[in-house]
Structure 1
Amino acid sequence: MKLVLFIVKSSWQKLLIGAIGSAIAGLCYAYAVKLLNTLIGSSSESSALFIEMSGIIVLSTSLSIITGYYLTQLFEEKISDLRVDLSRKILQADFETVERNAFKIIPVLHYDVNNIGSFAKTIPDVLVAVFKIAAIWTYMFLLSWQLTLSIITVFLLVFLFAFVLLPTFHRIEKDIQRERNVLYRHLLGLVNGIKELTLNRVHQKNYVEDTINPTSYKHARHISIINSLNILVTKSAELIVIVGIGIIIIVLKSSASFSSEVFLDFLTLVLFILPSLIIITSFARSLKKVDASLEQVFSLGLEFDDYRHAIGNAKLPYHSHSEAPLISLQEVTYHYGTPDSNTYKVGPFNLSIYENELLFINGGNGSGKTTLAKLLTGLYMPESGQINYQEQKINETNLFEYRNLFAATFTDSHVFQDLRYLSTRVNESEMQKKSALLGIEDKIEVDQFNISAVDLSFGQRGRLTLLRVLLEDQPIYLFDEWAANQDPYFRSKFYHEILPDLKSKGKTIIVISHDDQYYHLADRLITLSSGNITTISG
């Protein structure tokens, strides 16, 4: 019901039109069944009756198709809106929140939203089925209200049995979704860690047997339980209907008013409504599955709402010829986790970066280089202390503008192939020129700023990422160990050609690097150790 309420809130007029269409289709179907019943009992010429019945059933079928298409389109649009809205929330959310929930985002956007979409497609059929049953039951009531109430009682027992099991369905569906998210994280680890796992047979075996297998087994077991419950409901419904009708026959046969002809008419009508009852029963069973999916979607959205930055449109004016540092960090600290827990801490950082400076940062693994880079770019907000841009305090009202000053590559940067967002500021000839500089002009195909990558190596994918960043043409550049995966030729080109070219254009450049043979090119070199700046030279 949550899904229906979700649709009704924004599109109740369209839903009403669809419901009216479904009602007319159901009434036409019931009237066609009545005509068929009359046709069976008619002893005279009945071609006119057959033509009328055929016309009505064609009308019912046509209305069902049109209404189904209309409602399916309505629900699919709303599901698409839900997916897009959640995507916007992800991009507006606090970066740390997104990092923390990364393992849930893809399963929710893909599996849960698809579950909702698949469920929504059944709603038009359910609406038509409801009106069919209502109309046929009305006709049955006119034939014999006693028999009709008896048949309705039997079907109510079927629905009651299914209803009693709904909480169990809901609980197991939530377990399945939780295990699916964990399983997705494990499988992602298998793909991302394939090199390490391939090299270590013990780790290989442990990861499959002790990490993937238990979760996969629990996930499969719960799916088996759900399927078994579905079979139980279906077969129990058949049992209840057959036994119930048998009891009705035994009871009514002892009555003087029992008519076998009327009862046969009823059985014929019951056969006509059985497919509709199956549709409604399946719909009821699916309710808890889609409710669990909606809880996943909405909880993720609400979680992002809880942590979402109130990002305003406050501008960060640029003051040319200013002697103040372009960026300054004053007693900036950052904790992974909560400050009162035993977690890794970096800082306090006190650092000034000046306009058009080429700054190198080095340090061992875990020294805090990437964390410092995320603080400098505004991806992380300090736990304490202050970040300033030309002596203007960075806060949630101007954070968007501050982030937009940077073009950056990180060690795990995604390779984007749709670069149409650059089409207003860059022409394709400039893209081709930069592609040639990076040695990938013959490795990619460009069509209206959509790049088709053709058999790129890891280093070439890094150069494709660098191509995008260079074309963004932002005032501040940050490169987090970009050259680490490049061959000596392109590593040298990066330090001796690309960085000097950016500096000649007035850019401010921050480079995280272990390439000590190029440190002499920097204006200053900063060394980090154990989350703190230990030396600043130059």
Structure 2
Amino acid sequence: MLVFLIKKTWQRFVATALSSVVFGIISVSLVALINEIINAKGERQTEFFWVFAALAISGVVVQLISKLVAEQLSEHSQAELRKLVADKTIEAKISHIELQGDAKIKSCLTEHSLKVAGFFMSMPGILTNAMIVLGAFVYMAWLDWLIFLFALLTLVLGSVSYSFANNVAFKKIANAAAMQDGLFQQFDAITDGIKELKLNRSKRAFFKLEVLHPAIDALRKERIEGVSILHMASSWGGFLIFTFIGGALYFLSQQTGEESQRIMSGFALLFLYMLTPLETLLANIPRAFAAQASANTIKTLTDELMSDDGNSVQVFKQFNSIQLHALCHRYYHEQSDDIFSLKPIDLEFKQGELIYLVGGNGSGKTTFAKVLCGLYEADEGEIVVDNQPISGAGLDAYRQLFSTVFGDYYLFDRLLNVPCDQLERKGNELIRKLNLHHKVSIESGRFTTQRLSQGQRKRLALVVAYLEDRPFYLFDEWAADQDPVFKDVFYRELLPELRNKGKTILVITHDDKYFSLADRLLKMENGCLTEVTQLPVTQTHVLA
């Protein structure tokens, strides 16, 4: 995943890396130059002053460039990650999206992408401090190779112990990243289940004390343990550094002469200057591990979201007949806690038909509708459009025949890919017909508000579906939340109007008083679809 981001932002990445490395080299050079100025005399000291001024100015400019480019790199990397996750999710099979769950996808779009971007933001500091430490060791070798070997031994010892601690800490940090996905699910429950929590005090208390708080505390504990191990390893590294400093200074203090003084002052300056960069470098390691864990989580998600891979297939714009041949689909049924299957379905839909689908709750009506419109793939059988079989790669093209309003519909805040100038007036006419004009209207392709009741939002969703002007309309119990007057408008005006335009309409409904208005009546019972050959006559009750 990090390689993917580097490829996407390679110009900014290279600019950030180079400017950071250059600034690190300049910083070490300034420290070495200070030591030379202290020990130089006469004209040579003046020359060193001019070099120092040039390096200092260059360092300020390079550091500014590094920070500016790093900020861009951070924002671009986060944007690229969010685009990747969003695009993968949009293009994925709906069954794979449902399997991953909303919480994991939201977590990748927010916190995980933010952690990876934060790592790129801290990269200039990491590279600069790394170059300062590396340059310090090089200067040490130039001053005294024996002390350099002692420093190298200290570095190896610290690295071995640190890597062992990192392995333990990384497991905890990775586990915390997985726990965070579950916590996002509980966060969703706060808003989605607020009505249930408000109505039941004991349920509310149990959710807070036994579900939400333990999940938050468990994540906190795991993160603290992981980071604490890293900080202990960092402290051990700091102890080794101070041990090295003490040993080196003691060794140098036993020597005499002018050269010894120059080496002593050089090491003193290096130690003082190197401590903060080294501590900063060690402190950034937990952030790097957290970013790696988040990047792995995002990669796992994107790898598991399999694409429909049908964008290249030419879309269907019209049809005369859709035939289902022995169509079957199996899925987990929550009510029965078992695998539920739609029995082999043989059926034909013709252009310009109005079909009602009835059946009890949990009988498989909505699942059949999702298989029919291509949201779910059939496990067996096939769909044939005008004698053309629909394969897996052609499902997306086939789906373009349908406009739907399911029970769990989502209402966007604007009309997407609809010629607004031509249809905005028609949309506002429909809004008036559905008595929403005093609440909402369409302006410049957007709805003026979405602060509507459930029934009103469903009416607005109907307007959106109507404006899409697809050949096949599918409504999943649209009228369930509507007042009688709007039910009448739906069944007696809008549906016949669509049929008269040559549209095929499948309506999932329980409103038996309107059954006689349909051309055909289908019944779903325990996954078995049958056609009712004799339509009931609409009864009229006269109230005296």
TM-score interval for Structure 1 and Structure 2 normalised by the shorter chain: 0.7 to 0.9
- Aligned partner of 1:297 in structure 2 is 298
Given that residues 159 and 281 in structure 1 are in contact (C-alpha distance below 8 angstroms), is that contact kept between their aligned partners in structure 2? no
Q: Which amino acid aligns with 2:32?
A: K
Matches within 5 A, 1:6-405: 6-9=4-7, 15-41=13-39, 52-74=51-73, 76-103=75-102, 104-254=104-254, 259=260, 262-305=263-306, 308-311=307-310, 313-315=312-314, 322=320, 326-336=321-331, 342-405=338-401
TM-score, length of structure 1 as denominator length: 0.88
Contact 1:331–1:386 (CA<8 Å) still a contact in 2? Answer: yes
1:501 aligned residue: 497
Using the TM superposition, give the Cα deviation of residue 163 of structure 1 relative to its aligned residue in structure 2, in angstroms: 2.0
Partner Cα distance (1:317, 1:29) in 2? 64
Aligned equivalents of 2:112, 2:186: Cα separation in 1: 18
Which stretch of structure 1 is more off in the superposition, 244-253 or 26-35? 244-253
Q: 1:333 to 1:203 in 2, by over 3 A?
A: farther
Q: Is the 8 A contact 2:173 2:290 kept in 1?
A: yes
Structure 1 window deviating more from structure 2 (259-268 vs 515-524): it is: 259-268
Contact persistence 1:313–1:400 (CA under 8 A):
no
- Asked whether the 8 Å contact 1:30–1:136 carries over to 2, the reply is yes
**Is this contact kept in 2: 1:362–1:528, CA < 8 A?**
yes
3-state DSSP of counterpart to 1:413: coil
Separation in structure 1 between the aligned mates of residue 154 and residue 446 of structure 2, nearest angstrom: 61
3-state DSSP class of the match of 1:453?
coil
- C-alpha distance in 2, partners of 1:293/1:97? 20
Pairing 1:492–2:492 present: no
Counterpart of 1:349 in 2: which secondary structure?
A: strand
**Contact 2:402-2:473 within 8 A present in 1 as well:** yes
Letter in 2 for 1:233: A
Secondary structure (helix, strand or coil) at the match of 2:375 reads: coil
- The amino acid across from 2:93 in the alignment is D
TM-aligned CA deviation for residue 476 of structure 1? 0.8
Q: Tell whether the 8 Å contact from 1:312 to 1:396 is kept in structure 2 after alignment.
A: no
CA 1:131–1:234 in 2, change beyond 3 Å: closer, same or farther?
closer
Name the counterpart of 2:515: 519
Give the structure 2 partner of residue 465 of structure 1.
461
Quick one: distance in 1 between partners of 2:375 and 2:267? 69
Aligned counterparts of 2:441 and 2:65: Cα–Cα separation in 1: 43
Amino acid at match of 2:350: Y
Task: Give deviations 1:369-419, integer Å, cap 9, x for gaps.
Answer: 110110111111111122222332221232111101111111111121132
- CA–CA separation in structure 2 for the residues paired with 1:421 and 1:396: 25
C-alpha distance in 2 between matches for 1:425 and 1:525: 38
Shift of 1:177: 1.6
Q: 1:10 to 1:180 in 2, by over 3 A?
A: closer
How many angstroms does 1:460 deviate by? 2.2
Cα–Cα, structure 1 residues 452 and 222, in superposed 2: closer, same or farther, change >3 Å? Answer: farther
The offset of 1:51, in angstroms, is 5.9
Choose the corresponding residue for 2:408, options 402, 405, 412.
412
Shift of 1:18: 4.1
Per-residue CA shift, 1:120-144, capped at 9, x if unaligned?
Answer: 1111222222333333433333333
The alpha-carbon distance between structure 1 residues 139 and 240, as it changes in their structure 2 partners (threshold 3 A), is: closer
Paired amino acid for 1:81 = E
Name the counterpart of 1:431: 427
Q: Do the aligned residues in 2 keep the contact of 1:478 with 1:511 (CA within 8 Å)?
A: yes
Further displaced range: 147-156 or 89-98: 147-156
8 Å Cα contact 1:96-1:380 kept in structure 2: yes
- Give the Cα separation in 2 of the matches to 1:63 and 1:454: 50
* More displaced stretch, 377-386 vs 259-268: 259-268
- Compute the displacement of 1:40 (Å): 4.4
Whether 1:510 and 2:511 are equivalent positions in the alignment is no
Secondary structure at 2:346 match in 1: strand
SS where residue 498 of structure 1 aligns?
helix
Contact 1:426-1:471 within 8 A present in 2 as well: no
1: distance between equivalents of 2:38 and 2:250? 26
Q: How far, CA to CA, are the matches of 1:409 and 1:375 in structure 2?
A: 15
Q: CA deviation at 1:176?
A: 0.8
SS at match of 1:336: strand
CA distance in 2: counterparts of 1:491 and 1:293, whole angstroms: 49
Distance 1:40 1:251, change over 3 A: closer
1:407 and 1:476 in contact (8 A); partners too: yes
Separation in 1, partners of 2:38, 2:448? 65
**1:318–1:311 distance in 2 versus 1, CA, 3 Å:** closer
Stretch moving more, 239-248 or 373-382: 239-248
* Conservation of the 8 A alpha-carbon contact between 1:432 and 1:441: yes
Is residue 72–residue 124 contact of structure 1 (8 Å, CA) maintained in 2? no
Contact 1:329 1:352 (8 Å CA) reproduced: yes
Question: In terms of mean alpha carbon deviation, does 87-96 or 273-282 score higher?
Answer: 273-282
- SS in structure 1 at match of 2:273: helix
Paired residues in the alignment total 528
- State the match for 2:542 in structure 1: none
| Alpha-carbon distance change, 183 to 19 in structure 1, aligned in 2, over 3 angstroms | closer
Deviations 1:69-127 (A, max 9, x none): 33443454344233323322222222111111123211122221111111111112222
CA RMSD in angstroms comes to: 3.0
Aligned partner of 1:529 in structure 2 is 525
SS of residue paired to 2:348: strand
SS in 2 for 1:134: helix
Cα separation, 1, equivalents of 2:481 and 2:21: 65
Question: Displacement of 1:421 after TM fit?
Answer: 1.7
Structure 2 unmatched runs, 5+ = 536-544
One-letter amino acid matched to 1:464: L
Task: Name the SS for the 1:311 alignment partner.
Answer: coil
Whether the 8 Å contact between 1:327 and 1:388 is mirrored in structure 2 is yes
The TM-score with structure 2 as length reference comes to 0.87
User: CA 1:61 to 1:318, structure 2 compared with 1: closer, same or farther past 3 Å?
Assistant: closer
Give the stretch that moved more between structures: 522-531 or 139-148: 139-148
